[in-house]
Structure 1
């Protein structure tokens, strides 16, 4: 049976269902002799008769009955494949492989959920890593898109800004500078800064915004934003953080935003992908969703959190 064609299987199923070569020919828009040729070739591949003729009527043999069961299953599989591929072509289905830096977990899953709600056949795969790890995954073709802040320098990567991203300095509520305004950068020189690790977008933003203006004498690095927040709450130091990550703690009075000169510092959220990567329709649809609606959606989420 390895040389049987789908056309032969489809023709057989139609004849078996109609139990008539002429009626099957009409349904398939073929001539009766063409139908007979297809059945003859399929029986040769099967090595056994699939029909028997008694008088003017044809009947399925036991082999034909078994072949009908498998033929219908094959046809169903092909139809399902056609439907699935049609969804993928239209962007309404398929797997969406995306990565986001850790600051994005406070809003990004909601954006993905909204997109999936509009494209019910999409299966999202979301990876949370720091910037360098996401760029590595893009390079290895393990994700299609990544959302980050810093603009990649690799010419093989294209990045498009889609929403503003604010950074703040936070401290424990009882910190000596909490509630003061304005605060100069020189007043922070002797503070212990608790920061994200090198290679993260938050570290890069910290370097861009404050690195050349603030001579830090004491720093601690952590890979986890949640760990940093807990360390600041515990009074271990102050931190430069994404505004998205501390909305709850600030509202709850667990952290205070320091009113530092020139703050908040803003850098854009970016959607990035390889220039030589042909995006799947679903990935292209999500990219356009972020570019067209990302800023508005993030703003709405922030307002909802603020109450």
Structure 2
């Protein structure tokens, strides 16, 4: 089966778009072509392969053959992108496209970093996704992201972990909470509080559960509210105590709408890491971003954001 003589790059891009979006309609939007054109590319690719790659046209599922083709298609597209990056680098131009993903907490500072990065390297384009930790793992596993910003990386993947900034997490509550203003609050005091939790799979939730387990605390009540934004709003409204990254609540604290509780053992100190796969060649554009984060990430993260609290 001489696929190299029968398969086109357009067909591979159509297959990847369908696999990544889970929809022919969304794939068409992503590729800026019509849905019938996407369907035609998939049909032609299936004819070249001699088997079904996508099972169903409404609820899209890849067949076993489809999974193989998607994996290899990513390698082909990545290799061509790398060739383009290397040609530009040979001409002394820092250019290319970076597919990166960050965990939800990082969305509070990453745009600030990318704004400065974009000013310095205008020919490097960023495609940014924001996801919880489990979804970040999946994107790295499927090679849909060349770089990730997160805390603790997955252990099952071949990854290079590059720390670039400290990450602190603390308990916060409304200014009129009965623990506000108190010092050296024992962790046991949290057992009587209503704790507000992120969803399972989030790094913040894992850090909180490890803290509570270490200190032997079993909260009387814990409510899962999901997003960082919802937790902030709930804490400000007096619903309970939230455990959040300092990046998430720094503006609300400065505005006097949230206070950090002086609970013993906090802030919990972690690190922000840049994550890349060791078994995937790093493009010059990605390396430029990694170097930028290591050199200037901390300084830019500590720059005061605009006071626009919602």
**TM-score (normalizing by structure 2):** 0.67
Q: Which stretch shows the higher mean deviation, 198-207 or 242-251?
A: 198-207
167 and 120 in structure 1: CA distance in 2 versus 1, 3 angstrom threshold: same
Q: What count of residue pairs does the alignment treat as equivalent?
A: 225
Q: Are 2:218 and 1:215 equivalent residues in the alignment? A: yes
Task: Report if aligned partners of 1:84, 1:93 keep a CA contact under 8 Å in 2.
Answer: no
170 and 291 in structure 1: CA distance in 2 versus 1, 3 angstrom threshold: same
212 and 82 in structure 1: CA distance in 2 versus 1, 3 angstrom threshold: closer
Partner of 2:195: 193
Task: Report if aligned partners of 1:89, 1:281 keep a CA contact under 8 Å in 2.
Answer: no
Partner of 1:245: 248
183 and 95 in structure 1: CA distance in 2 versus 1, 3 angstrom threshold: same
2:243 is paired with a residue of what secondary structure?
Answer: strand
Q: CA deviation at 1:229?
A: 0.6
Q: How does 1:16-31 map to 2 (within 5 A)?
A: none
CA–CA separation in structure 1 for the residues paired with 2:237 and 2:156: 39
Q: Are 2:275 and 1:255 equivalent residues in the alignment? A: no
**Counterpart selection for 1:266 from 269, 282, 288:** 269
Task: Report if aligned partners of 1:196, 1:223 keep a CA contact under 8 Å in 2.
Answer: yes
Q: CA deviation at 1:302?
A: 6.7
Partner of 1:166: 168
**Counterpart selection for 2:153 from 151, 156, 169:** 151
189 and 116 in structure 1: CA distance in 2 versus 1, 3 angstrom threshold: same
Task: Report if aligned partners of 1:88, 1:282 keep a CA contact under 8 Å in 2.
Answer: no
CA–CA separation in structure 1 for the residues paired with 2:235 and 2:129: 27
Which blocks of at least 5 consecutive residues in structure 1 are unaligned? Answer: 1-80
Please tell me the root mean square deviation across aligned C-alpha atoms, in Å: 2.4
Q: Which stretch shows the higher mean deviation, 85-94 or 260-269?
A: 85-94
Task: Report if aligned partners of 2:196, 2:241 keep a CA contact under 8 Å in 1.
Answer: yes
Which blocks of at least 5 consecutive residues in structure 2 are unaligned? Answer: 1-82
176 and 163 in structure 1: CA distance in 2 versus 1, 3 angstrom threshold: same
* 4+ long deviations beyond 6 Å: 81-84, 302-305
CA–CA separation in structure 2 for the residues paired with 1:88 and 1:224: 44
220 and 160 in structure 1: CA distance in 2 versus 1, 3 angstrom threshold: same
CA–CA separation in structure 2 for the residues paired with 1:200 and 1:176: 28
CA–CA separation in structure 1 for the residues paired with 2:220 and 2:196: 12
Q: Provide, for residues 164-221 of structure 1, a one-character-per-residue CA deviation record: whole Å limited to 9, x for no partner.
A: 0110100111111111112111111111111111111111221233333121231111
CA–CA separation in structure 2 for the residues paired with 1:83 and 1:264: 42
Q: CA deviation at 1:83?
A: 10
Q: How does 1:1-307 map to 2 (within 5 A)?
A: 85-86=87-88, 90=92, 92-213=94-215, 214-301=217-304
Task: Report if aligned partners of 1:147, 1:269 keep a CA contact under 8 Å in 2.
Answer: yes
